[in-house]
Every structure is written in C-alpha cells, then in structure tokens.
C-alpha cells in the first residue's frame, strides 16, 4: 500500500545562523510538520495548510517550488505501507509557534547540528542534510 503526505521544513534565519523547527508527534518521534492532502489539493497547498494548522505560523516564504522527499516503510494493521513525504523548505519570519494540541506534543527551534541529532528517524535526518546542503549551494543561507 502507498501513502503520501506533504510538509514544510521551517527555517528561521538569525544573525548566528539558521534554526530549524522540529515538532514532536504524540507517538514521541521528532521530525517536521506534515500531513495528508485533502481531495483535489495540490502538494504545495497541502504542505502549507498542514504547516499552518499544526504550528499556527502564517508568515513564511517558500524557497520557490524546491522540494525534497523522504521515503520509508512501516506496518499498519498488518499491511506494509510505503510512505513518501514531500517537503518544501520555507523561511519563516517569527519563531512563535502555536501547537495544534491534537497533532503536536512539543516543538523546538534548533541550529542545524542539534536538529540533525534530535530528529528521530534516519530518512528525516537525511532530508535535513539535503535541505541544508541546498541552502549552502544555492547561496540562500
């Protein structure tokens, strides 16, 4: 079975460097805000809606249509699920987060090295490495 979700990699630019917003899901793992698309919703629209719902952040700018994907498998109700999550990096202008209590247990703004260490699952860590490398190579950091 295939599953697809969409999210945002939130980047806060500060004088001492970028910080990345990680959220802790109720299951306990740390990663980025994400969710499923509503019927007829585009990938970018779904990513935006989920991000805004989960974090309350509305002041942000996507870095074009650049996207990064993570893929992983898990078992749900004895069925193997292959999940792809497409993320869009975005620069936010405020570090104020209003967590959606039913979706998010906690959150943290962390510099790159700390964020890489905090992320629970390897695919999400690898995704952050790719986003960070993209920021360096494109000169947007």
Q: State whether the Cα torsion 34-39-42-43 is positive or negative.
A: positive
**What value does the mean pLDDT take over residues 104-131?**
96
**Cβ(99)–Cβ(54) below 8 Å:** yes
Give 8's strand partners.
88
Give tens-digit pLDDT for 37-89.
999 999 999 999 999 999 999 999 999 889 999 999 988 899 999 999 999 99
Structural domain range at position 21: 2-138
Please report which confidence band the pLDDT of residue 30 belongs to, taking 50, 70 and 90 as the band edges.
very high
Q: How many domains does the chain have?
A: 1
The CATH number of the domain where 32 resides is what?
A: 3.90.79.10
Give tens-digit pLDDT for 82-100.
999 999 999 999 999 998 8
DSSP H helical segments within the chain, as ranges?
43-55, 112-118, 122-138
pTM, rounded to two decimals: 0.93
């Amino acid at each position: 079975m295939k599953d697809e979700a969409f999210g945002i990699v939130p980047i806060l630019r500060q004088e001492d460097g970028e910080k990345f917003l990680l959220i802790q899901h109720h299951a306990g793992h740390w990663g980025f805000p994400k969710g499923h698309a509503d019927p007829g919703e585009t990938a970018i629209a779904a990513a935006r809606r989920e991000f805004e719902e989960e974090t309350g952040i509305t002041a942000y700018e996507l870095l074009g249509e650049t996207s990064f994907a993570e893929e992983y498998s898990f078992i749900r109700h004895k069925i193997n699920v292959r999940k792809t999550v497409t993320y869009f990096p975005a620069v936010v202008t405020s570090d104020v987060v209003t967590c959606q209590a039913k979706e998010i247990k906690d959150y943290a703004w962390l510099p790159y090295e700390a964020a890489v260490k905090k992320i629970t699952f390897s695919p999400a860590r690898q995704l952050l490495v790719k986003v960070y490398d993209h920021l360096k190579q494109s000169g947007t950091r």
